[in-house]
Structure 1
Amino acid sequence: MNILRTIIITGLASVVLPVMAVTEAKPATQYTIDANQAVLKALPFSDKVDFDNATRGLISKPDTLTITDKDGKAVWDLEEYKRFISIDKVSPDSVNPSLWRNSQLTIQYGLFEVTKNIYQVRGYDLSNITFVKGDTGWIVFDPLISPETAKAALDLINKEFGERPVVAIIYSHSHIDHYGGATGIVTQADVDAGKVHILAPEGFAEHAVSENVIAGNAMGRRAIYMYGALLPRDEKGGINGGLGMTTSTGVAGLILPTRDISRTDEKVKIDGVEMIFQMTPGTEAPAEMNTWFPEWNALWMAENSTNTMHNILTLRGAQVRDALKWSYYLNETIEKWGDKVEVKFQSHHWPVWGNENIIPYFEKQRDIYKFTHDQSVRLMNQGYNGEEISEMITLPASLENNWATRGYYGTLRHNSRAVYQRYMGWYNGNPSDLNNLPDELVAVKYMEFMGGEKEVLKKSQASFDKGEYRWVAEVMKHAVFANPESTDAKELLADAYEQLGYQSESGPWRSVYLQGAYELRNGVPAAGGTQTATEDTIRAMQAGMLFDYLSVRLNVEKAAGKDFKINVNFTDTKKKYTLSVKNSVLNHTTKQARKADVTISMSMATMHEIQLKTIDFDSAIESGKVKLKGEKSVLDDFMGMLDDYNFWFNIVTP
């Protein structure tokens, strides 16, 4: 069986994946069962407030929820999860009960009333889509990942309240699950005609385009692990992404903002609805903002306060976020509107109602990031490194037993390491780790010193039988890297990963472990293609960003000894650049060289066509879309120096 699945990774791009026949997963061991049972005893499962909130205000929902594209292929299929997850089912042995509880909450779907004139459609994608009723139409906040899911949500609310146009879209921040579906509910033509306003925080466009362009290939591959893209949807596979069930699989679009919001307390009135914004840059995203609705004492929190501990550093890879700044902005939120707010809602999970509930909620959201920052830095200043800190740090009972600060997405363990990384970098201070050997080199020596593979397998199996799965994972990683052809080593490592996944409270942690086990047992997929950015994203790239991307593709060996200049003139924007290759480095500048080896002239639209591979340089030159003057061989050589990345690089094997 070899079925193609297209997925969209949050903050990334679309990837065509081969979903292959899977080696049957193994059951939870008694040690895992005991560990998960201990969670049931440790946390306040009798507290059902979240279940009341997650179902409160339900207006309507379809009996089944499968959303398809124009070709009839499913881009969102909640039925995959509904067949085994429901509120009345107890957690299976193979799922951490706290994560199971989270999946029971995030699987709640349909059209919900938040408060007067504010509605959400939840469970139609990883994120929520919010509709604010104006005088004549809808103001939409964060239109999901895929055009198809956003349109289905709009159809649902219009079916209930009658057809109303979308008059504005507001992007809360620059991650793809908050803007990718815009093209499903409005057209660029209507935006250009002024019929639809698009608002976003200052810097949105730059960050939406650039965040994953430079390192997009590596991030995309690791995101396969973080979101468990190839995992079966069942009790031993993918059950929840922490913020929602999973990601939809349509091709995300990008409609650029018509207005940037640049300062806190900036007021905007659209279609009779007054909104006041709070800028929160550098928190959950580099460009992000909250929104206050004074008429209804309602507060939209973007992704700055969800019903989980969020990531300070996402496992797919990104720049480390500022936990201290995050806590600062949450405190500012409390000070600005804490005495008035009656409902707070956001782009994931369910709302909280009542001032008496919201303020304690905000204080704990603020304090989870402040605590993680302060205590990680305290231990860092006592001389402990990131790994040691992650093993030592524990939450106070007030945060530990609070459902909204549990680690369904971020975790205290990896967030504390992220704080260490932000201040201290990768080096932990121990000289042995300054120039240590990489895994492939050290693994062979480890096996030799530990008595060889056969002896290591024997001892590791004994440790596995004692439930020491973290240790088995550490040891067997070396066995696999020393001998990647060893089926026994890969199977035992997969078994350890699997049990660690079954015990994980974090959706991404579970996915990472189970995806690792999947690839050890089934191999790394060799089929399927990748698209490192959607078409709209490519077309939104500025020239400088494009040239930065070309720079990281320059192959050192192929560029060795080369020294040349290429002038690039864009006929539509009237901007001119020089690309120079020297010392195996590509530089670009707007101070154009008077004499270049070759000059090319074209429109940015043609450049985008070349990037999208709908035309190549030779064809563009032949058709006249590109004018060339000078030595064409220089351009040919340059294009031959650029690497094309292999998406399916190895992770759990060398």
Structure 2
Amino acid sequence: MKRSILSTVIAGLIVSGSAIAYEGKPATAVTEAANASVQASLPFSDKTDFDEATRGFIADLQEGQIVRDDGKPAYSMEDFRFLKGDAPTTANPSLWRQSVLNANSGLFEVTEGVYQVRSWDLANISFIRGTSGWIVIDPLTSTETSAAAIKLLREKVEDLPVSAVILTHSHGDHFGGVKGIVTQEQIDSGDVEVIAPVHFFEESVNENLMAGNQMSRRASYMYGNLLPKSPTGTLGSGLGTTTSAGEFTIVEPTIEISKTPTSLTVDGIDMEFMYTPGAEAPAELMFYIPRFKALMQAEEINKTQHNLYTLRGAKVRSGLDWSKYIQQTIEQYGDEVEISFGSHHWPTWGNERIVDFWEGQRDTYRYIHDETLRLANKGMTMLEVAEAVKLPESLSSGFANRGYYGSVSHNAKAQYQLYYGWFSGNPAELHELPPVEEGRKFIEYMGGADNVIEKARVDFARGEYRWVATALNHVVFAEPENTEAKELLADSLEQMGYQAESGPWRNFYLSGARELRTGVMSAVTPNTSSPDIIKSLSLETYLDYLGVRLNHPEAAKTELAFNVVMPDVNEKFMMKVENGVLNYTMSKQMEEPQATITLDRDILDAINLRQISTEDAIRGGEIRIKGEKARVDEFIALLDVFPFWFNIVTP
């Protein structure tokens, strides 16, 4: 997937009632024509995906939602029931088609002995009938959804215990619900083995923690969490519907996969594992099951073009590496495979169809990677490359290669960034003004905001929404109270959202339009700091994050030096603040610190889980300070608390 621990949970936020009441404006004639053009350009008459997305259906939850202990919904299938029939004029028909397919929910038989529950969360949970029990693959985001899935499996297929868990990769929608299907005691006793790629646990706990607040806020746009689920709101993410909003957990693997191939027998089922790090996730694996001639493709192969860069913000992925993993899969299993199923979407059956599907996915990532570098080496800038790269019709006509989640445009930019970074080489772009200052000069040169708005209205009527958005963004940053500019900018973003084939693009455009019209809305959110995650963080990770939170300009005015002792975990370290940065050394103590701080690791966890404040812990004696307490207070005061609901489309 595509997102951090924090943003995974944020992506499942429970939106307040005001979000449901919000409805957008109608599609313009220009948007209707653009969407009609898409309808005419793709093979919509091919219903194979619809047959495969419903093949093997067994049952769904009649109540239409999964509820948490507090009575609030962890996930609602009913929210996506509007997705049926032909696309409305307010939706790209290609994205609508994908969203209709993604909304098929329930328990499905893939083949005898292999089952999936789909669309009860962003991802799929899969089950393999082993000799003694169920082998569970990727137990979703929340314990509530995974527990409901295995309950339905036991009711409708066979009531067996869990014998093993396979976690394909280090994104939260594939492991967060693990304690809904297995307990830590079952793992510790050896009754249940947990298989994952090497570095799964570290990557899952730490990924994007340093940048988590910014990513999580942007994830609220990317996944449409502030939008109604409707023909003028979010249709889902293209990769699936949306994440659940329940209890988020994690366990450590008992078996780690670190090379290709690795052969294991898991509860009587022979499996051949492939280690595929650094493409879709930092730690990932796929595996082949000879008995079923089936590949579990994880998230390396999907019914959409995936992200080489995710719009919430993350490290760029290599399309070259991604394509090579798929090529290795084709070389190893292409002659015999009969079933290909994954962590998202619906399976594919039949050797010829599967190999064609795999080759299309392989060549999509390779084409974008190679063509980006070819054009860049001819002197084109990132924006020029993104505009120029177009998939050949042999790829773009395949629905599985369409940009429902990633897009050719932002994936091409990602490959440019991977090799060349943010700078185009043009010195005029080396030290540009920030948005507010740039906006003020822009409207000054254009003869004032009224003049820009007047010209923008003409261009809006022509359907030139991209330029209207560019021009009016300058006005809004120069004059954030200019209601007329904000309304017209919102209208432009909205029409681009209606035309977008990518689910995240649609969600970004429509979320921006809503925020321009109604302001920043503080929605109700779940607790983003899961106890399992907090307690799994290493002390080094804690300290690195404290270094990020340090107010560096203010910290540069002082020097601080502390010893820290944690008796319950037999840990000690020293840390210093100087030159505006925090440095630390583990397992050492300085001779003359300003203060020595003694606290148990459990207290540090409780503080991070907001179960106790630092001040209360000091007052209650859980934190003991020997030396200059005022210096410790000074350090605490230097730690920033990041606001979540910061502005995105206004200064």
- TM-score for both structures, normalised by structure 1: 0.96
Instruction: Report the counterpart of residue 265 of structure 2 in structure 1.
Output: 269
Instruction: Report the counterpart of residue 396 of structure 1 in structure 2.
Output: 392
Cα displacement (A) at 1:600: 2.0
After TM superposition, the structure 1 = structure 2 runs for residues 313-392 of structure 1, keeping only pairs within 5 Å, are 313-392=309-388
Of 155, 164, 169, the residue aligned with 1:159 is: 155
Give CA-to-partner distance per residue, 1:493-534, whole Å, 9 cap, x none: 000000000000000000000000010001012465674432
Give CA-to-partner distance per residue, 1:179-233, whole Å, 9 cap, x none: 0111111122222222222211011111111113110100000001100101011
**Equivalent-residue separation in structure 2 for 1:52 and 1:33 (angstroms):** 29
Cα displacement (A) at 1:23: 5.1
Instruction: Report the counterpart of residue 646 of structure 2 in structure 1.
Output: 649
**Equivalent-residue separation in structure 2 for 1:76 and 1:9 (angstroms):** 17
The one-letter code of the counterpart of 1:139 is I
Cα displacement (A) at 1:61: 2.1
Instruction: Report the counterpart of residue 612 of structure 1 in structure 2.
Output: 609
Go from structure 1 to structure 2 and tell me whether the alpha carbon gap of 1:267 and 1:626 turns closer, same or farther (over 3 Å shift). Answer: farther
Contact 1:12 1:533 in 2 (8 A): no
Cα displacement (A) at 1:20: 2.5
Contact 1:169 1:198 in 2 (8 A): yes
After TM superposition, the structure 1 = structure 2 runs for residues 103-114 of structure 1, keeping only pairs within 5 Å, are 103-114=99-110
Instruction: Report the counterpart of residue 498 of structure 2 in structure 1.
Output: 502
The one-letter code of the counterpart of 1:249 is A
Of 140, 146, 155, the residue aligned with 2:136 is: 140
The one-letter code of the counterpart of 1:578 is M
Instruction: Report the counterpart of residue 85 of structure 1 in structure 2.
Output: 83
Identity of aligned residues (%): 47
Contact 2:405 2:504 in 1 (8 A): yes
Q: Does 1:50 align with 2:49?
A: yes
Give CA-to-partner distance per residue, 1:4-41, whole Å, 9 cap, x none: xxx98437676565453655411000000000000011
Contact 1:530 1:647 in 2 (8 A): no
Q: How many residues align?
A: 645
Contact 2:473 2:489 in 1 (8 A): yes
Go from structure 1 to structure 2 and tell me whether the alpha carbon gap of 1:256 and 1:350 turns closer, same or farther (over 3 Å shift). Answer: same
Mean Cα displacement is larger for which, 152-161 or 493-502?
152-161
Contact 1:23 1:522 in 2 (8 A): no
Mean Cα displacement is larger for which, 511-520 or 563-572?
563-572
Give CA-to-partner distance per residue, 1:87-140, whole Å, 9 cap, x none: xx1110000000010011111111111123111011111100001111121111
Contact 2:92 2:500 in 1 (8 A): yes
RMSD of Structure 2 on Structure 1 (CA): 1.7
Contact 1:8 1:15 in 2 (8 A): no
Give CA-to-partner distance per residue, 1:345-371, whole Å, 9 cap, x none: 100001111111111111111111110
Contact 2:529 2:609 in 1 (8 A): no
Partner of 1:135, secondary structure, is: coil
Contact 2:130 2:266 in 1 (8 A): yes
Mean Cα displacement is larger for which, 606-615 or 529-538?
529-538
Instruction: Report the counterpart of residue 74 of structure 1 in structure 2.
Output: 73
Mean Cα displacement is larger for which, 616-625 or 496-505?
616-625
**Equivalent-residue separation in structure 2 for 1:579 and 1:350 (angstroms):** 51
Instruction: Report the counterpart of residue 594 of structure 2 in structure 1.
Output: 597
After TM superposition, the structure 1 = structure 2 runs for residues 559-570 of structure 1, keeping only pairs within 5 Å, are 559-570=555-566
The one-letter code of the counterpart of 1:31 is V
Give 5+ residue unaligned stretches, structure 1.
1-6
After TM superposition, the structure 1 = structure 2 runs for residues 186-585 of structure 1, keeping only pairs within 5 Å, are 186-526=182-522, 528=524, 531-585=527-581
Q: Does 1:37 align with 2:36?
A: yes
Contact 1:8 1:248 in 2 (8 A): no
The one-letter code of the counterpart of 2:8 is T
Of 633, 637, 640, the residue aligned with 1:636 is: 633
Partner of 1:572, secondary structure, is: helix
**Equivalent-residue separation in structure 1 for 2:14 and 2:533 (angstroms):** 17
Partner of 1:565, secondary structure, is: strand
Instruction: Report the counterpart of residue 176 of structure 2 in structure 1.
Output: 180
**Equivalent-residue separation in structure 2 for 1:388 and 1:410 (angstroms):** 18
Partner of 2:436, secondary structure, is: helix
- TM-score for both structures, normalised by structure 2: 0.96
**Equivalent-residue separation in structure 2 for 1:650 and 1:525 (angstroms):** 10
Cα displacement (A) at 1:618: 3.9
